[in-house]
């Protein structure tokens, strides 16, 4: 009977279960959407119980039809939307409030107060992060400050989604997380790899609420047979989604980079044994810890990437489907001098300007929908170049090539332009499911189902830069001028 590894990919919009075989090929995928609640402008919440039930539902879908049987699963790996915060009562198993999602800005008052008090530099030094509502600490504090009865209750536990699912799967036996998820809480010291007493005091969070921190790959606990069709399967990996993608894309060596073009964009570079504190507002984070070996990464995020294409589709009505953007953009030979700066929600690293709004430059009477579509695709690549450049500065070295994944990486025009404008090769691996693959690899590794030698790059597309250097400089110079003008407007 063939054996498999099951990856659970609990994302912001959906929960997926993906079965991988010994050759790391996808055998079956099941998916269920989850609800997002927007109780007030800028607030984003989810129901942790719904997330748990969606996880059970996708597992059931995997075994539906009996092609795959529960006893064929050797281990489970969990990868998850990071930072999203759940607080629950260990006696009842019930969350005391909705899960506060990473995107939610409801804790900005807490964060601004701490900023004013001058705490940011020491927080950055310890955690590698910036002081921002994005991370878990202020969300826990918010729940403690705002939900009735919470401060007095000694039975409360905190977890990111990985931790909550593990606790549920083990029927309350195991309360643990891994270093990658811990490193996104603002409570974790990335140098000592432990919860930091000073940070806990600052956010007024009792240590008793916090999960035990474990390696990324290793036994976390065993799924109670009642939740897995009478099988007691080990959970042997827990890993944040972007770190999972870095592992899934085989970025094992120092300076390996992956660029995910999803709704937003995430670029991570492996920085080896060193946690580098960025001069440009990039985040320093744990990439993974396996058998006492820790790897770090620098991370930059782009707020608007593939969602720029959604905007063209839904608001501008340029096409019916995102994939049609490529054909429209190819209807013209270049963007006709048009530059789109997609600062819909301000600009992230390296600009960190949350006030500015988007802008379009270089319009003429002859500007067509094709030019605009092309300029939007190019903007996705320019934003990546901005981040790669500061990564090179922080690391004091030149990046040789990058790997790409995510929904928009099927756009060949985008990936070619990315290679042109970066003037380095861009590689797109065979398995599109790099996040789930990363979790499956880390899980299989812990039970000797996979060996690290098995983790090779299956290249499928390879892009070489084709633009001459002068043209690159001219175009990128215009992009930089446009970003400057956008911020001054």
Q: Which residues would be at the binding site for ligand ADP (CB under 6 A)?
A: 13, 262-263, 306-307, 309-310, 322-323, 325-326, 406-408, 410-411
- CB atoms closer than 10 angstroms to residue 425: 14
Least distance in Å: CB of 306 to ligand ADP?
A: 3
- CB atoms closer than 10 angstroms to residue 192: 9
**Nearest 10 degrees: CA dihedral of 274, 278, 281, 284?**
10
Compare residues 162 and 433 and give the one whose CB is closer to ligand ADP. 433
Least distance in Å: CB of 53 to ligand ADP?
A: 21
Question: 264-275 burial, b for 16+ CB within 10 Å, e for fewer?
Answer: bbbbbbbbbeeb
Least distance in Å: CB of 311 to ligand ADP?
A: 9
Compare residues 260 and 278 and give the one whose CB is closer to ligand ADP. 260
Please list, in sequence order, all residues whose beta carbon lies within 8 angstroms of the beta carbon of residue 418, skipping any fewer than 6 positions away: 259, 380, 381, 384, 385, 402, 404, 426, 463
CB 296 within 8 A of CB 276: yes
Compare residues 74 and 309 and give the one whose CB is closer to ligand ADP. 309
Compare residues 104 and 138 and give the one whose CB is closer to ligand ADP. 104
Compare residues 78 and 114 and give the one whose CB is closer to ligand ADP. 78
Least distance in Å: CB of 26 to ligand ADP?
A: 15
Least distance in Å: CB of 342 to ligand ADP?
A: 12
Compare residues 1 and 320 and give the one whose CB is closer to ligand ADP. 320
DSSP letters for 69-138 = -GGGEEEEEEEE-SS-BEEEETTT--BSSPEEPTT--TTHHHHHHHHHTT-HHHHHHHHSS-S-TTSHHH
DSSP β-ladder status, 265-272 and 99-100: unpaired
Which residue in the shown chain puts its C-beta closest to ligand ADP?
Answer: 407
Compare residues 237 and 309 and give the one whose CB is closer to ligand ADP. 309
Closest CA to 97 of 149, 23, 29, 52: 149
Least distance in Å: CB of 122 to ligand ADP?
A: 33
Least distance in Å: CB of 449 to ligand ADP?
A: 26
Torsional sign, CA 463, 464, 466, 468: positive
């Amino acid at each position: 009977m063939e054996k498999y590894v099951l990856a659970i990919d609990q994302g912001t919009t959906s929960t997926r279960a993906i079965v991988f075989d010994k050759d790391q090929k996808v055998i079956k995928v099941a998916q269920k959407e989850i609800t997002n609640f927007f109780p007030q402008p800028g607030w984003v919440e989810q129901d942790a119980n719904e997330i748990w039930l969606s996880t059970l539902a996708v597992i059931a879908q995997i075994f539906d039809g009996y092609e795959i049987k529960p006893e064929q699963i050797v281990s489970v790996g969990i990868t998850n939307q990071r930072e999203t915060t759940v607080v629950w009562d260990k006696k009842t198993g019930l969350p005391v409030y909705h899960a506060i999602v990473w995107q939610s800005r409801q804790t900005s008052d807490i964060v601004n107060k701490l900023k004013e008090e001058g705490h940011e530099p020491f927080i950055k030094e310890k955690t590698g992060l910036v002081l921002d509502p994005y991370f878990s600490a202020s969300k826990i504090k918010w729940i403690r400050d705002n939900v009735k009865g919470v401060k007095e209750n000694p039975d409360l536990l905190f977890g990111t989604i990985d931790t909550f699912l593990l606790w549920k799967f083990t029927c309350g036996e195991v309360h643990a997380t891994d270093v990658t998820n811990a490193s996104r809480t603002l409570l974790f010291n990335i140098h000592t790899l432990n919860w930091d007493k000073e940070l806990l005091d600052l956010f007024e969070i009792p240590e008793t609420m916090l999960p035990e921190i474990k390696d990324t790959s290793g036994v976390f606990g065993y799924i109670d047979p009642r939740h897995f069709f009478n099988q007691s399967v080990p959970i042997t990996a827990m890993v944040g989604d972007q770190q999972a993608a870095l592992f899934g894309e085989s970025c094992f060596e120092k300076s390996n980079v992956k660029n995910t073009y999803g709704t937003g964009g995430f670029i991570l570079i492996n920085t080896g044994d060193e946690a580098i504190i960025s001069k440009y507002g990039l985040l320093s984070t744990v990439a993974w810890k396996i058998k006492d070996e820790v790897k770090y990464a620098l991370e930059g995020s782009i707020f608007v990437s593939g969602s720029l294409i959604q905007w063209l589709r839904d608001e501008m009505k340029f096409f019916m489907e995102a994939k049609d953007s490529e054909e429209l953009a190819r209807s013209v030979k270049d963007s006709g001098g048009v530059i789109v700066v997609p600062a819909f929600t301000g600009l992230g690293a390296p600009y960190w300007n949350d006030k500015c709004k988007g802008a379009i430059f270089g319009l003429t009477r002859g500007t067509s929908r094709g030019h605009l579509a092309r300029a939007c695709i190019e903007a996705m690549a320019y934003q990546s170049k901005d981040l790669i450049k500061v990564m090179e500065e922080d690391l004091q070295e030149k990046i040789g090539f990058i790997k790409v994944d995510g929904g928009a990486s099927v756009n060949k025009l985008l990936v070619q332009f990315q290679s042109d404008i970066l003037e380095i090769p861009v590689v797109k691996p065979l398995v599109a499911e790099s996040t789930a693959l990363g979790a499956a690899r880390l899980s299989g590794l812990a039970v000797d189902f996979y060996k690290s030698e098995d983790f090779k790059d299956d290249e499928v597309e390879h892009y070489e830069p084709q633009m001459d250097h002068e043209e690159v400089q001219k175009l990128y110079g215009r992009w930089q001028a446009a970003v400057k003008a956008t911020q001054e407007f």
